[in-house]
A and B are shown apart, each in its own frame.
Chain A
Amino acid sequence: MTIHNLYIFDRYGTLLYYGEWNRTKQSGMSREEEGKLMYGMLYSIKSFVAKISPLDPKDGFLNYKTSKYTLHCLETPSGLKFIMNTDNQAQNTREILRKIYSELYVKYVMRNPLCAAGEPINSELFKTKLDAFIKQAPLTAARAS
């Protein structure tokens, strides 16, 4: 049960934050490029899902799974996107993303007057809090209970 990495994008596609924990393969491009590619993919997935969906979607895209990893996406009404890559066994990841948004992002970024909107987050406090949160994240709790 591992979390590989986490991307936070704002509604204009700026990569606000990137965190990495257990990543064994680099994409072979700069972080900036990779962020653009990731955002582009999400944007396409979003419109793909909206068109192919047989019913009216509400949350739309939730996650996708490949043979090796799962990508989870949480989009807030204000257009912030939280993207987390985990292994395929991870449980209740939506809850974790929601907590990262409500308990970490809102608390340590939004309420920090030194963090300008629409710019990459460089708050040390946010980084350490996020690291601590990810390390104790209960990825298996749902299965055990």
Chain B
Amino acid sequence: MVIYGVYIVSKSGGLIFNYDHNIPRVETEKTFGFPLDIKLEYENKKVVVVFGQRDGINIGHVLLSVNGSPVNGRTTDDGKDVFDLISAKENYPISLKFGRQRATTNEKIVLASMFYPLFALASQLSPVPKSSGIETLNADTFKLSCFQTLTGVKFIIVTDVNMQGSDVVLKRIYELYSDYALKNPFYSLEMPIRCELFDTSLHTLLELVEKSGTANL
């Protein structure tokens, strides 16, 4: 039972809480000879692998460092353009490090607001009457479970595919939310949750679930 992340989305679709539990780090460093046998492209201010998946370097991975110096946008730390570096033969052999890009806070906010219409569309496109929105979404690498309260707040957890009893975990998070966030006089509704007690009790809950499952919640 691995929980990758917890998201809480307010009823207007804004991300009010997000916590990354333990997302595995996918990184590979490899020394290349000339010419480079993978195709790189510059998109969204990142240098991305677009073709030539091999040795753990997959399409969509981002270039993290060149010869140990980290890459920012398309330049390395010492101000050299990455594409100049890899097209010049005298720079070889060259050591490149690639990894899967993690979502930044801004991207997470975008993702949270993306889930909102998906949830609504799922109930609108339903072939049977009175359907709710998305409750669980399965992909090959993760499972997303969502619980919407009567007041419209959505609790979302992203777990591994074999996770059982995510609904119990979600209800427990809802309990924590109502105990520590809603009863906090300094918390205003619809605003990001910054309550220390909520954070610590959520961590305890997630650790408990990872160690001993959801049976004794």
Q: How many A-B residue pairs have CB under 8 A?
A: 122
Q: Which residues of B lie under 8 Å from residue A37 when comparing CB positions?
A: 121, 124-125
Question: Judging by beta carbons under 8 Å apart, are A66 and B24 in contact?
Answer: no
Known: A48-B114, A48-B118, A52-B103. A58 touches B140 (CB 8 A): yes
Q: Which residues of A lie under 8 Å from residue B58 when comparing CB positions?
A: 56
Question: Judging by beta carbons under 8 Å apart, are B111 and A51 in contact?
Answer: yes
Check: B13 CB closer than 8 A to any chain A CB. no
Question: Judging by beta carbons under 8 Å apart, are B131 and A67 in contact?
Answer: yes
Choice from A34, A53, A64 contacting B142 with Cβ under 8 Å: A53
Number of interface residues of B (CB under 8 A): 40
Question: Judging by beta carbons under 8 Å apart, are A60 and B140 in contact?
Answer: yes
Check: A129 CB closer than 8 A to any chain B CB. no
Complex Cα distance A70/B126, Å? 9
Question: Judging by beta carbons under 8 Å apart, are A62 and B107 in contact?
Answer: no
Binds B, one of A23-31, A102-110, A116-124, A136-144: A23-31
Chain B binding site: helix, strand, loop or mixed by DSSP?
loop
Check: A133 CB closer than 8 A to any chain B CB. no
Check: B216 CB closer than 8 A to any chain A CB. no
How near does chain B come to A120, taking the closest CB pair, in angstroms? 19
Chain A binding site: helix, strand, loop or mixed by DSSP?
mixed
Check: A45 CB closer than 8 A to any chain B CB. yes
Known: A37-B125, A61-B137, A69-B128. A55 touches B118 (CB 8 A): no
How near does chain A come to B161, taking the closest CB pair, in angstroms? 9
Known: A23-B127, A67-B132. A51 touches B121 (CB 8 A): no
Check: B9 CB closer than 8 A to any chain A CB. no
Check: A5 CB closer than 8 A to any chain B CB. yes
Known: A24-B129, A56-B58, A69-B126. A64 touches B140 (CB 8 A): no
Q: Which residues of A lie under 8 Å from residue B144 when comparing CB positions?
A: 52
0/1 string, B138-181, CB within 8 A of A gives 1? 11111010000000000000100000000000000000000000
A-B contact pairs, 25 of them (CB 8 A): A25-B129, A37-B121, A41-B122, A44-B117, A48-B118, A51-B103, A51-B111, A52-B103, A52-B144, A53-B142, A54-B4, A54-B158, A55-B24, A55-B100, A55-B141, A56-B58, A61-B137, A62-B140, A64-B122, A64-B134, A64-B137, A66-B123, A67-B131, A68-B128, A85-B126
